[in-house]
Each structure stands twice: as C-alpha cells, then as structure tokens.
C-alpha cells in the first residue's frame, strides 16, 4: 500500500451545528473546508473510507462529512508525511480560518487540521506554496479517486 498525504476539499451548503466527538459542539458556517490528513497505512484505502457515505465514526472528519460533501481530493503519494506542512499552508490561504481547535490534530502540535474558507480555494496557489514539493501534488474529483 502506498503511503501519502491528502487534503479533502469539502463544501458545506448551510450553517450547521455539529457535535464532533469529544471536542464538543461547533457551529460551521457555509463555505469550504480543507481537511488534511496522512495515510501511512495506505493512501487510497484511507481516502476511500472518508468518501464512503455510511461508516462508523472514527475520526473528527467523519462528523463533518455527515453534513458536508467532498468536492475534490488533493494528494501526494510518498513515505514522508507532509500533513503539518500542508496544514500550515492551508491556514495561510486567503481568508483561511480555524473554527474548531484540535480538529484532526490530536497527534501533533498543529492547532487544527481543518481550515475554513468562505470561498473556493485555489489548487494552483496551494501547489505553488508547497514549492518543489508541489510537483507531486495531484487533484481529482471524488468519483475519479474512487474509480
């Protein structure tokens, strides 16, 4: 299985109040969310699990995905996790904001692995900000990733 880092670009159509496991209740405004993760046990199985509709809630992202839809998957295969770097870049995207501290980041020092953006973020800008590491970044629609 190939390891890698992934980003789920998620659209939320209306304001939602969501209880996220032990983190508690959060209010998520409509817009776009970037969720970054790493898959050291297999990139494709991990992302495909996130894309499945019905599943047992295991990670913080599972709670949000009950209300929202993944519109794109950005990913880079590779052994070294770039999860925290990608989170930093996502936080620095225009209008990037953390709304749920601790979301998806219980195993690192990042304030959150979920970033809110009121408008659609740019794949090209994200790739550019990754520098030379951006050459490995790919983007696709969820149905194509599953295929």
Which pLDDT value is given to residue 123? 96
Closest CA to 60 of 88, 91, 19: 19
Over the stretch 93-116, which tens digit does the pLDDT of each residue have?
999 999 999 999 887 888 999 999
Over the stretch 36-85, which tens digit does the pLDDT of each residue have?
999 988 899 999 999 987 778 878 999 999 999 999 999 998 878 899 99
Whole-angstrom distance, CA of residue 127 vs CA of residue 131: 7
Give the total residue count for the chain.
147
Q: Over pLDDT 90: what percentage of the chain? A: 76
CA 78 to chain centre: 17
């Amino acid at each position: 299985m190939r390891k890698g880092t992934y980003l789920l670009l998620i659209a939320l159509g209306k304001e939602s109040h969501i209880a996220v496991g032990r983190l508690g209740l959060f209010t998520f405004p409509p817009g776009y969310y970037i969720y970054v993760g790493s898959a050291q046990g297999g990139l494709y199985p991990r992302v495909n699990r996130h894309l499945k509709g019905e599943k047992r809630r295991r990670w913080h992202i599972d709670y949000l995905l009950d209300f929202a839809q993944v519109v794109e998957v950005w990913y880079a295969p590779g052994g070294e996790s770039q999860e925290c770097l990608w989170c930093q870049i996502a936080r620095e995207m225009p209008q990037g904001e953390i709304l749920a501290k601790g979301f998806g980041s219980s195993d690192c020092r990042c304030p959150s692995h979920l970033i809110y953006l009121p408008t659609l973020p740019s794949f090209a800008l994200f790739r550019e900000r990754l520098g030379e590491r951006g050459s490995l970044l790919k983007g696709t629609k969820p149905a194509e990733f599953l295929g």
